[in-house]
């Protein structure tokens, strides 16, 4: 298979000769082999594993995103990704950077929603007055 991992503004990695891929979804781990039917997966922050003859098993920490398999091409589009050799450290990076940042983003979204609601209420009062 041909694997390409895309970030918002760059190609993180591009590999050919990938024999298997393991990705994490909300329903659990999902494995892909070259002859698997085409599919689309919603990824959650976690570890993406792929294997090639040249490199063996390679682990990437990835943020939420989407994986699309069409034929032998597998395209993974995520917000952030980190490479490394120590699986334990990658898992810690996912927990520390991706999941914590998601909580911060949710908090920011709540604050922005409150500001927008207040602005709309003020605007509604201005139109009546």
Domain that holds residue 17: 2-128
**Which pLDDT belongs to residue 30?**
93
**Contact of 40 with 73, CB cutoff 8 Å:** no
For the chain, the domain total comes to 1
Kindly indicate the confidence band of residue 93, based on its pLDDT and cuts at 50, 70 and 90: confident
What confidence score (pLDDT) does residue 100 get?
65
String of b and e for 106-128 (b: at least 16 CB within 10 Å)?
eeeeeeeeeeeeeeeeeeeeeee
Q: Which helix (H) or strand (E) holds 109?
A: helix 100-128
Q: For the segment 14-40, what is each residue's pLDDT rounded down to a tens digit? A: 999 999 999 999 899 999 999 999 999
Q: The pTM is what? A: 0.71
CATH number, domain of 90, equals 2.60.15.10
């Amino acid at each position: 298979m041909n694997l390409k991992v895309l970030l918002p503004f760059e190609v993180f990695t591009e590999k050919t000769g990938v024999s298997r891929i393991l990705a994490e979804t909300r329903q659990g781990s999902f494995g892909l082999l070259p002859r698997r039917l085409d599919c689309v997966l919603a990824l959650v922050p976690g570890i993406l594993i792929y294997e090639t003859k040249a490199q063996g098993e390679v682990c990437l920490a990835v943020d939420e995103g989407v994986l699309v398999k069409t034929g032998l091409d597998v395209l993974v589009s995520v917000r952030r990704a980190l490479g490394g050799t120590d699986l334990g450290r990658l898992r810690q990076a996912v927990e520390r950077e991706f999941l914590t940042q998601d909580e911060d983003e949710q908090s920011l979204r709540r604050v922005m929603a409150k500001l927008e609601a207040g602005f709309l209420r003020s605007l509604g009062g201005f139109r009546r007055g």
